[in-house]
Amino acid sequence: LGNIGPLAAKPVMEGKGVLFQRFAGIDVFDLELDAPDPDRIIDVVAALAPTFGGINLEDIKAPECFYVEEQLRARLDIPVFHDDQHGTAIISSAALLNALDLVGKRIEDVKVVFSGAGAAGIACARMYLDLGVRPEHLLMVDTAGVIFRGRTAHMNPYKERFAVETDRRTLADAVRDADVFAGVSTRDVLTPEMLMSMAP
């Protein structure tokens, strides 16, 4: 929905609270911050932290979300979870492992393409690497194309970690012969022709 502001985001946060209670028995209450500055978010959350047993961040855009999470983890002695990153990565990784089991492929052999290099894409890619995907078998594509070593347009330190040596530059190039497509950007980016170019 984009940057809709704290009041419009409140129903989403309340819904997350219901999920925490229903599925984990965790009582929560939501706090929406009208604080677009990452350092202000960090200071406010850190000041409130003694009240909580854990912090669940939600809907902070990339790359600021990585900075906010890193700073809070360094400053606090309670769990800090960013749902857009970690929740998506957990679910996506479970799907990946189950899919590989179903098709009889080994994680270290598959080629993976991500469409999207924001909070969800970066977090999922990190977890895929932790699970055994080889770095040279993982391509990330954002609005400027494939994230390759030496690219300077639309880069940040978080994307840089996934820059690889490749001559592929577009999503269509990237998915050719790939085993896995992870779409964490927008809809309708993978065409039927691209799908047909992927590995069987």
Active site residues: 16
**Does residue 63 have a cis bond before it (omega within 30 degrees)?**
yes
Q: Which amino acid is at 183?
A: G
Q: What burial class does residue 161 get, using C-beta atoms within 10 Å of its C-beta: 0-12 exposed, 13-18 middle, 19+ buried?
A: middle
With vertex at residue 111, the alpha carbon angle to CA 107 and CA 115, rounded to the nearest 5 degrees, is: 115
Task: Establish how many alpha carbons lie within 13 A of residue 103's alpha carbon, considering only the half-sphere containing its beta carbon.
Answer: 14
Cα–Cα distance between 130 and 139 in angstroms, integer?
Answer: 15
For tokens 């980016």, what's the residue?
189
Work out whether the CA dihedral 81, 84, 89, 94 comes out positive or negative. Answer: positive
| Residue 194 CB partners (closer than 8 Å, separation 6+) | 171, 172, 175
